[in-house]
């Protein structure tokens, strides 16, 4: 039996893969505790999860105006969220390590406090990469932007890490658990493959929705699932209206189910099912195509089910994920801020038309994601990490 500490930011998409890994580790008899934000973690992992609670940064959770996109969103994300988040989380990570004495840790790639405190205290740790975007060196063409980020990470390391360390704290020298697949990354990725483990999505059992009106689904039409994820509720009003319009244009052959947690679709066209929360995995099991903002988890879950996508990225890693989907042939990228109902309907028609090959490509990626090992492979790598560093916990 080993003890594993999981360090996660207050972002659902980053927590979800770790929930599946935690369940796997627990099932194997290991002890798992979390460091992060109990409300968010228990929503996903259940009420019994042990959480070493972190303070939130002064600015609170990640809130950005809908118009903040592109490089300005990147600057905000690091300067105003991830860096202050690391400073706020660091004391709790240190006390969690002292109290729990983990044999190893899994630290989210963007909860940088996990990596930096673990390196300072000598805890072996794997990075949890919840998106494929960081793996392709997205700033390779923008060296001054990369230097800007490195400067901030270096300053953070001075404050909460081991100043003698030199590696990028987003990539643990012990290894990276990347919840994605080679087929999605494409050929562009030049990775230190010996320590980057592409384990595919780690999908946890999620609470179902006993109230979902399954009877309202029309078996004679193709089900299209529309979701902008959990972190973009206020940015999506215009797009969701255009999406509803597209679904209406295709109403003779398509039935839309729209996840609308922000209640943006106040007057949806008839025949479209709009729900604040949806049983996503069950829906994907019945769907024929997905319209998504390009959140990595939703994209991988769609591909897992062999579903082609229309991807409308908003910001952050989403444009990269969208490009990866398009280049893999499994979907079409549209512009979140510009696409209108007729263009969206045309994109949907294209991916739903099986002669176009999008479904075939999606199914191929889905098969490879299923054999990548997911939660079991992640747990295997963590057990091997402890075996390779058996005395790690003794000195603390």
Partner 1 sequence: MTSEAATPTALSIDEDTVLAQIAATLRELPDAGLEDAEISRETLFHDDLELESIDLVTLAGLLREQYGERVNLALFIADLELDEIIALTVGRLADYVTASLRATEEN
Give the x-and-dash track for 207-246 against partner 1 (CB under 8 A): ----------------------------------------
DSSP sequence for 252-294 = TTEEEEEE-TT---SSPPTT-EEESS--HHHHHHH-SEEEE--
Nearer to partner 1 by Cβ, of 79 and 205: the residue is: 79
The neighbour count for residue 22, using CB atoms within 10 Å, is 29
Nearer to partner 1 by Cβ, of 56 and 145: the residue is: 145
The neighbour count for residue 189, using CB atoms within 10 Å, is 18
Window contacting partner 1 (CB under 8 A); options: 51-59, 122-130, 302-310, 317-325: 317-325
Q: How far is the CB of 258 from partner 1 (least distance, A)?
A: 21
Give the x-and-dash track for 116-155 against partner 1 (CB under 8 A): ----------------------x--xxxxx--x-------
Buried b (16+ CB within 10 A) or exposed e, 370-393: bebbbbbbbbebbbebbeeeeebb
CA distance 7 to 93: 8
339 binds partner 1 (CB under 8 A): yes
Between CA 268 and CA 278, with CA 273 as vertex, the angle to 5 degrees is 125
Nearer to partner 1 by Cβ, of 174 and 239: the residue is: 239
Token reading at 346 = 């045309």
Q: How far is the CB of 229 from partner 1 (least distance, A)?
A: 18
Token reading at 41 = 């973690």
Nearer to partner 1 by Cβ, of 72 and 190: the residue is: 72
C-beta of residue 139 within 8 angstroms of C-beta of residue 145: yes
C-beta of residue 121 within 8 angstroms of C-beta of residue 47: no
Give the x-and-dash track for 297-316 against partner 1 (CB under 8 A): ----------------x---
Find the binder of partner 1 among 59, 63, 65, 71 (CB under 8 A): 71
Find the binder of partner 1 among 34, 37, 74, 125 (CB under 8 A): 74
Residue 394 burial (CB < 10 Å; 0-12/13-18/19+)? exposed
C-beta of residue 328 within 8 angstroms of C-beta of residue 180: no
Taking the mean position of all CA atoms in its chain, how far away is CA 164?
31
Q: How far is the CB of 83 from partner 1 (least distance, A)?
A: 14
Nearer to partner 1 by Cβ, of 75 and 221: the residue is: 75
DSSP sequence for 52-72 = EEPPPPTT-S----TT--HHH
The pairing of strands 254-259 and 222-227 is parallel
323 binds partner 1 (CB under 8 A): yes
Give the x-and-dash track for 340-359 against partner 1 (CB under 8 A): ---x----------------
Nearer to partner 1 by Cβ, of 124 and 229: the residue is: 229
Q: How far is the CB of 90 from partner 1 (least distance, A)?
A: 25
330 binds partner 1 (CB under 8 A): no
Nearer to partner 1 by Cβ, of 44 and 320: the residue is: 320
Q: How far is the CB of 283 from partner 1 (least distance, A)?
A: 27
Nearer to partner 1 by Cβ, of 39 and 79: the residue is: 79
Nearer to partner 1 by Cβ, of 114 and 313: the residue is: 313
Please name which of 289, 296, 282 lies closest in space to residue 362, comparing C-alpha atoms. 289
CA distance 18 to 21: 5
Window contacting partner 1 (CB under 8 A); options: 16-24, 191-199, 251-259, 334-342: 334-342
Find the binder of partner 1 among 186, 207, 213, 337 (CB under 8 A): 337
C-beta of residue 284 within 8 angstroms of C-beta of residue 307: yes
Which residues bind to partner 1, rule: CB under 8 A? 67, 69-72, 74-75, 138, 141-145, 148, 313, 319-320, 323, 332-339, 343
């Amino acid at each position: 039996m080993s003890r594993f500490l999981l360090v996660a930011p207050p972002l659902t998409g980053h927590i979800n893969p770790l929930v599946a890994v935690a369940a796997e580790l627990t099932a194997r008899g290991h002890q798992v505790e979390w460091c992060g934000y109990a409300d968010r973690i228990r929503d996903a992992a259940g009420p019994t999860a042990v959480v070493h609670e972190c303070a939130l940064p002064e600015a609170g959770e990640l809130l950005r105006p809908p118009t903040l996109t592109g490089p300005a969103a990147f600057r905000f994300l690091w300067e105003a969220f991830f860096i202050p988040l690391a400073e706020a989380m660091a004391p709790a990570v240190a006390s969690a390590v002292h109290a729990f004495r983990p044999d190893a840790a899994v630290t989210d790639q963007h909860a940088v406090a996990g990596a930096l405190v673990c390196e300072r205290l000598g805890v072996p740790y794997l990075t949890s990469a919840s998106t494929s975007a960081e793996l392709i060196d997205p700033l390779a063409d923008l060296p001054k932007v990369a230097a800007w980020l490195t400067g901030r990470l270096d300053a953070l390391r001075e404050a909460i890490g081991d100043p003698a360390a030199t590696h990028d704290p987003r990539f643990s020298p012990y290894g990276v658990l990347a919840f994605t697949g080679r087929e999605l990354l494409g050929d562009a990725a030049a990775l230190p493959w010996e320590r980057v483990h592409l384990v595919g999505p780690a999908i946890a059992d999620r609470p179902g929705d006993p109230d979902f009106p399954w009877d309202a689904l029309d078996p004679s039409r193709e089900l299209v699932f529309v979701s902008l994820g959990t972190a973009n509720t206020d940015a999506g009003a215009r797009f969701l209206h255009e999406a509803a319009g597209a679904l209406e244009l295709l109403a003779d052959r398509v039935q839309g189910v729209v996840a609308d947690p922000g209640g943006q679709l106040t007057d949806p066209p008839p025949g479209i099912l709009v729900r604040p929360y949806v049983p996503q995995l069950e829906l994907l099991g019945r769907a024929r195509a997905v319209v998504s903002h390009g959140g990595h988890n939703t994209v991988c879950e769609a591909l897992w089910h062999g579903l082609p996508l229309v991807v409308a990225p908003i910001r952050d890693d989403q444009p990269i994920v969208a490009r990866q989907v398009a280049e893999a042939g499994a979907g079409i990228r549209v512009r979140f801020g510009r696409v209108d109902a007729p263009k969206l309907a045309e994109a949907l028609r294209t991916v739903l038309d099986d002669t176009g090959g999008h479904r075939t490509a999606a199914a191929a990626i889905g098969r490879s994601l299923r054999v990548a090992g997911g939660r079991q492979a992640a747990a295997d790598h963590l057990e091997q990490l402890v075996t390779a560093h058996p005395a790690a916990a003794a000195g603390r």
